[in-house]
Amino acid sequence: MKYALVTGAAGGLGSACTRALAHTGWMIFASDLVERYPEIEATTQVVPLVMDVTNQWSVDAAVEMINQTTDTLDAVINFAGVQAMASMIEGEIIASMQHMIDVNLMGMVRVNRAFFGMLVPGHGRIINCSSECGYLKAQPFNGPYTVSKYAVEAYTDSLRGELGGLGIKVIKIQPGSFKTGMHASTLESFERLLASTRYHKKALTKMQPLMSRELEHANDPVLLAKVMLKALESKRPKSNYRVKNSRVLRLMELIPDGLLDAVYKSMMK
What per-residue confidence (pLDDT) applies to 42?
Answer: 62
Digit-coded pLDDT (tens) for 102-122: 999 999 999 999 999 999 999
The number of residues making up the chain comes to 269
**Amino acid, single-letter form, for residue 245:** N
What confidence score (pLDDT) does residue 194 get? 87
Structural contact between residues 176 and 243, judged by C-beta atoms closer than 8 angstroms: yes
The stretches in the chain having pLDDT less than 50 are: none
pLDDT for 73: 98
Which pLDDT belongs to residue 82? 93
pTM of the model: 0.93
CATH number, domain 3-176+220-261 = 3.40.50.720
Query: One-letter amino acid identity for 185?
Result: S
The pairing of beta strand 46-50 with beta strand 75-78: unpaired
Please report the pLDDT score of residue 16 as a whole number.
93
pLDDT of residue 102: 98
Q: Where are the domains of the chain?
A: 3-176+220-261
- Enumerate the H helices of 131-197 as residue ranges: 143-163, 182-196
- pLDDT for position 152: 98
List own/partner pairs for 216-222 with CB under 8 A and 24 or more apart: 217/177, 218/177, 218/178, 218/179, 218/180, 218/183, 219/176, 219/177, 219/178, 219/179, 219/243, 219/244, 220/178, 220/179, 221/12, 221/13, 221/15, 221/16, 221/17, 221/178, 221/179, 221/180, 222/16, 222/20
What does DSSP assign to residue 30? Answer: E
